[in-house]
């Protein structure tokens, strides 16, 4: 046993250790059969894979195996030297495969004394996939059971391209996998497979797969507020209702600047409530977010549920029923608020009207200003103090005012239609009159609408009316025809064929060639509408009359007074064709006898223009406006 003597040369040089060396040699000889006798080691996937076997001087042994590494355990030491091991253990160098393997263990320089161990590897652990429930929660851990304990392998789950790592429980027979790493979507189908790893490399052995459906997502189906709501009250809680019974939730409430508002979440079945701990600031934007919920079945929201809302300030004005001009002298002005006022509000202390006589009152969310025979063209201002208080006792801090002007025109009724509708004349300014007339034919809606726009424009720009000029507008000579959208009046008479001209006749031809018996009236001015405009015109004695029709797209002068020059100017500014009276036969291929413009020329020498618009329904105001204002200078 020369290697023993060499190993302990330092010991034998010390005489007092000779006895110990001799004892060691005796023990070694006695145990030689036990030491070198072959052993069988059963490989354990969990725990130790060892056999009780004495090995002398274990550090001077080497092993030979492509599959397993040998380790010696249970050391006996003498003078800090490992002289004996009690157990021989193996650990896999490569992925274990079922079978029987030989591991050769040889003392250094003494291969003739080598021995071997037989390693028996059983079948790999199997994974029970039946425990993967379907439908499956997307974020809950998935626990799988192994057929035998295993700490040799590591396990993962796969779904599509995502992978979830698994950890081995203490008992080594269960593994727990983090399903949240799979990025599963709720309410979807997946094939989930199990993979096994050894030493960081995936096993080539197929373990198994299972098809599952994930739980449908939980949804919020109701909320106590709507998105973009304005909240006028002083809320103390916000409520939500889910489509499933809940067991947990995370809710946050914050201002638009990110300042969080503390609150407490409470759950009762499908109901979720967020109780705020402090009164919300007023006139501020907030966002409340149900960031996540957990239903009792394990499902959750697919996305955070977010609502934005604003707390109101005190009552604010939304709208007013008047413009900056044209207010009626006896108007009832209504001012709409965004919320109702406190019942005990003294509105007379908070609302003032200067410039005209008026009284203020209110009902719920509307303030009323009643004007009392205000003078025409009077300027006035309504002021509301910033002290209005809502029914929730939220006080406004914003003052409001509006200035307007009482209308400057007077309105007179110059007659009535067959069906009793008033024929009205709107008069602006004073001095030499100019008369504008629309809707002599009721189906020519564009002419009536044009007069409406002109009245509004005159009122808005009343200061632009030339000094010494009176402008009169009769928007609808035939109010019955305009209401029914018919060319003739309620007696079936064409009013522009009912005037006492030299060529008047009762039976007339209409556009399109149809002969209408009595279409010119039973006699000149037989109709209340034509009689009214005739009487009014003679009483007014206008310098120039403009009548509007459709749809020949031209301007025709009756050749009295300034009419020819006026027609040329109108055509230039509007783009309509200037047609002479003598050429009207080429324009109108039907009777035009008994016309109002001809009567003005023949009987009274009053200048008139017939303006034919190019639309039956559209006012064309922007096209005609420059020309209409230019007529005031003739």
Give the span between the Cα atoms of 236 and 289, in whole angstroms: 16
Range 248-274 average pLDDT = 96
Residue 371 and residue 357 in contact, taking contact as beta carbons nearer than 8 Å? yes
Mean pLDDT check: name the lowest of 395-409, 423-437, 585-599. 585-599
pLDDT of 397 above 80: yes
Q: What tokens were used for 98?
A: 């079922």
CATH number (2.60.40, 3.10.450, 1.10.8, 3.40.50) of 127-213 reads 2.60.40
pLDDT of 427 above 90: yes
Helix (H, G, I), strand (E, B), or coil: what is residue 521? coil
- For residue 214, give the nearest of 177, 175, 180, 247 by alpha carbon: 180
Range 384-397 average pLDDT = 95
pLDDT of 33 above 50: no
How confident is the model at residue 238, as a pLDDT?
98
Range 382-402 average pLDDT = 95
CATH node for 410-633: 3.40.630.10
Higher pLDDT, 28 or 586: 586
421 pLDDT tier (thresholds 50, 70, 90): very high
Over the chain, what is the mean pLDDT? 91
Range 373-380 average pLDDT = 96
Q: What tokens were used for 84?
A: 């004996």
112 pLDDT tier (thresholds 50, 70, 90): low
Dihedral sign (CA 516, 517, 519, 520): positive
How confident is the model at residue 588, as a pLDDT?
65
CATH number (2.60.120, 2.60.40, 3.30.160, 3.40.50) of 317-405 reads 2.60.40
For the stretch 343-366, pLDDT in tens is 999 999 999 999 999 999 999 999
DSSP 8-state assignment for residue 160: T
Range 295-309 average pLDDT = 95
592 pLDDT tier (thresholds 50, 70, 90): confident
Helix (H, G, I), strand (E, B), or coil: what is residue 59? helix
pLDDT of 239 above 50: yes
Percent of the chain surpassing pLDDT 90:
79
Strands (E), 477-606: 508-509, 515-516, 544-550, 554-557, 577-579
Residue 57 and residue 161 in contact, taking contact as beta carbons nearer than 8 Å? no
How confident is the model at residue 566, as a pLDDT?
98
Domains 317-405 and 410-633 share a fold: no
585 pLDDT tier (thresholds 50, 70, 90): low
How confident is the model at residue 30, as a pLDDT?
41
Place of tokens 């489509």: 243
How confident is the model at residue 375, as a pLDDT?
96
Range 56-71 average pLDDT = 86
Range 106-113 average pLDDT = 68
Give the span between the Cα atoms of 182 and 161, in whole angstroms: 8
CATH node for 31-121: 2.60.40
464 pLDDT tier (thresholds 50, 70, 90): very high
Residue 69 to residues 117, 185, 196, 398, 505, Cα–Cα distance (Å): 12, 45, 21, 86, 129
pLDDT of 3 above 50: no
CA 304 from chain center: how many Å?
A: 15
Range 178-198 average pLDDT = 92
pTM over 0.85: no
Range 108-117 average pLDDT = 69
- The ranges assigned to domains in the chain are 31-121, 127-213, 223-311, 317-405, 410-633
For the stretch 522-562, pLDDT in tens is 999 999 999 999 999 999 999 999 999 999 999 999 999 99
Place of tokens 């207010």: 327
**What is the CATH T-level fold of the domain 223-311, as seen in this structure?**
Immunoglobulin-like (2.60.40)
Percent of the chain surpassing pLDDT 70:
91
How confident is the model at residue 299, as a pLDDT?
94
205 pLDDT tier (thresholds 50, 70, 90): low
Phi, psi for 44 (deg, rounded to 5):
-105, 125
């Amino acid at each position: 046993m020369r290697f023993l003597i060499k190993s302990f040369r330092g010991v034998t040089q010390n005489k007092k250790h000779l006895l110990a060396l001799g004892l060691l040699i005796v023990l070694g000889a006695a145990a030689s059969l036990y030491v070198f006798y072959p052993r069988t080691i059963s490989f354990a996937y969990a725990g130790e894979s060892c056999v009780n076997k004495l090995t002398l001087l274990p550090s001077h042994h080497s092993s030979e195996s492509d599959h397993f590494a040998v380790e010696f355990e249970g050391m006996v030491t003498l003078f800090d030297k490992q002289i004996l091991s009690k157990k021989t253990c193996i650990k896999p160098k490569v992925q274990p495969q079922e079978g029987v393997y030989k591991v050769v263990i040889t003392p250094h320089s003494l291969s003739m004394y080598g021995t071997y161990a037989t390693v028996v590897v059983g079948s790999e652990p199997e994974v029970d996939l039946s425990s993967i429930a379907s439908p499956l929660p997307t974020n809950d851990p998935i626990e799988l059971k192994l057929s035998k304990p295993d700490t040799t392998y590591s396990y993962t789950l796969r779904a599509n391209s995502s992978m979830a790592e698994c950890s081995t429980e203490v008992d080594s027979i269960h593994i727990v996998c983090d399903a949240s790493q799979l990025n599963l979507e709720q309410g979807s189908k997946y094939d989930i497979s199990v993979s096994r790893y050894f030493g960081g490399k995936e096993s080539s052995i197929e373990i198994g797969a299972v098809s599952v459906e994930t739980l449908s997502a939980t949804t919020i189906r109701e909320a106590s507020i709507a998105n973009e709501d304005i909240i006028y009250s002083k809320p103390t809680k916000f409520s939500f209702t889910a489509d499933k019974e809940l067991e947990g939730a995370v809710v946050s409430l914050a201002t638009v600047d990110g300042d969080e508002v503390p609150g407490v979440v409470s759950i009762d079945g499908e109901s979720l409530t967020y109780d705020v701990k402090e009164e919300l600031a007023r006139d501020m934007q907030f966002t409340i977010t149900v960031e996540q919920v957990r239903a009792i079945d394990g499902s959750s929201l697919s996305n955070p549920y977010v609502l934005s809302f604003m707390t109101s300030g005190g009552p604010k004005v939304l709208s007013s029923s008047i413009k900056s001009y044209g207010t009626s002298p006896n108007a009832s002005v209504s001012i709409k608020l965004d919320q109702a006022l406190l019942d005990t509000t003294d509105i007379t202390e908070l609302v003032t009207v200067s410039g005209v006589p008026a009284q203020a009152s209110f009902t719920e969310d509307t303030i009323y200003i009643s004007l009392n025979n205000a003078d025409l063209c009077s300027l006035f201002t309504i002021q509301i103090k910033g002290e209005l208080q809502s029914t929730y006792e939220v006080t406004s801090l914003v003052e409001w005012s509006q200035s307007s002007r009482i209308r400057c025109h007077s309105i007179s009724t110059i007659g009535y239609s067959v069906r009793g509708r008033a024929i009205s004349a709107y008069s602006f300014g004073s001095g030499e009159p100019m008369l504008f007339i629309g809707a002599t034919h009721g189906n020519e809606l564009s002419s009536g609408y044009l007069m409406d726009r002109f009245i509004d424009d005159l009122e808005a720009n009343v200061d632009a009316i030339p000094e010494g000029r009176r402008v009169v507008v009769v928007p609808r000579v035939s109010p019955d025809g305009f209401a029914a959208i018919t060319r003739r009046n309620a007696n079936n008479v064409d009013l522009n064929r009912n005037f006492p001209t030299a060529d008047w006749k009762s039976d007339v031809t209409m556009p399109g060639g149809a002969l209408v018996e009595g279409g010119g009236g039973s006699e000149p001015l037989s109709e209340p509408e034509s009689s009214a405009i005739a009487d009014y015109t003679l009483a007014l004695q206008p310098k120039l009359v403009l009548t509007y029709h459709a749809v020949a797209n031209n301007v025709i002068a009756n050749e009295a007074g300034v009419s020819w020059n006026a027609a040329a100017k109108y055509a230039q500014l509007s783009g309509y064709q200037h047609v002479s009276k003598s050429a009207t036969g080429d324009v109108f291929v039907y009777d035009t006898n008994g016309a109002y413009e001809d009567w003005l020329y023949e009987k009274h020498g009053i200048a008139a223009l017939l303006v034919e618009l190019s639309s039956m329904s559209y006012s064309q105001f922007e096209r005609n406006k420059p020309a209409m204002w230019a007529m005031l200078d003739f």
